[in-house]
Amino acid sequence: MQMLALYSIKGGVGKTASAINLATQASLAGQRVLIWDLDPQAATTFYLRNKPKIRGGGVEKLVKGKATLEKTIRDTDMANLDLLPAGLESREMDTLLEGHKASRLRRMLKPVSDDYDLVILDCPPGLTTLSEQIFSSADALLVPVVPTTLSMRTLTQLQQYLDEGHINTPLWPFFTLVDRRRRLHQDSMTDFHKQWPARLSANIPYASAVEQMGVHQAPLVQFAPRTAAAVAYRQLWEEISRRL
């Protein structure tokens, strides 16, 4: 079971949309996928038409490894794609994870590790106890970056944090919300490509179809499969899959 985290220190960069569309592309490619919504806002849970509630004992039992995962994990409309939902009580996870050894998130899923080929984490922004557990549990951090100064600055801050903590989890950044009509975006992407050789080359465009995911409560492939954004997510997954 491989684990990828959609993570950024900064909010509003497209983590949730990327988590859902990449998980969907992986499932369409035949992978057995679990998407784990770790954000108390529960946007992934909403987009996948589930209620923001953690069954099977709640977040405390989940962290302690005593949750009934068969009741906690839910089906989605897509074959091969399941959801471990979030709710407001997910905000307690930071406190509950304090004092636990590294890779706790991976250990929490051990009872179902044979059921899935891939786990994708949709992570809240910030540097917290939860994020440290994400770093130690994930095989790679997929970092959405908007081609602007502040967004790219947070990526540098994240790399510095990992280096200072001797955390070796690889960063695979990629661009989201790209508007090629803007000179700032073009220039930023040119400089970025030189500085981050581990970047993923597929770029996700700024597109109204991505915003409409909330209206349709569905990934792009279900209601706008031929749009530029849907094609870009398919290309992005293919590139990630080759790395894995």
Question: Averaged over 116-143, what is the pLDDT?
Answer: 97
> Among 3.40.190.10, 3.40.50.300, 3.40.50.720, 3.40.50.150, what is the CATH number of 2-243?
3.40.50.300
Token pair of 130 as six digits: 């939860």
Q: Label residue 183 by pLDDT band (50, 70, 90).
A: confident
DSSP code per residue over 205-242: BP-HHHHTHHHHTS-HHHH-TTSHHHHHHHHHHHHHHH
Most distant pair of Cα atoms in the chain: their distance: 52
Predicted confidence (pLDDT) at residue 182 exceeds the cutoff of 80: no
Convert the pLDDT of each residue in 60-104 to its tens digit: 999 988 888 988 999 999 999 999 999 999 999 999 999 999 999
The domain ranges of the chain are 2-243
Predicted confidence (pLDDT) at residue 149 exceeds the cutoff of 90: no
Torsion of CA 132, 138, 144, 148, to 10 degrees: 40
Q: Which amino acid is at 201?
A: S
pTM for this one? 0.95
Token pair of 202 as six digits: 């597929």
The number of beta carbons lying within 10 Å of the beta carbon of residue 170 is 12
Predicted confidence (pLDDT) at residue 194 exceeds the cutoff of 80: no
Convert the pLDDT of each residue in 198-229 to its tens digit: 899 999 999 999 999 999 999 999 999 999 99
The number of beta carbons lying within 10 Å of the beta carbon of residue 185 is 19
User: Of 175, 118, 150, 145, which is closest to residue 4 (Cα–Cα)?
Assistant: 118
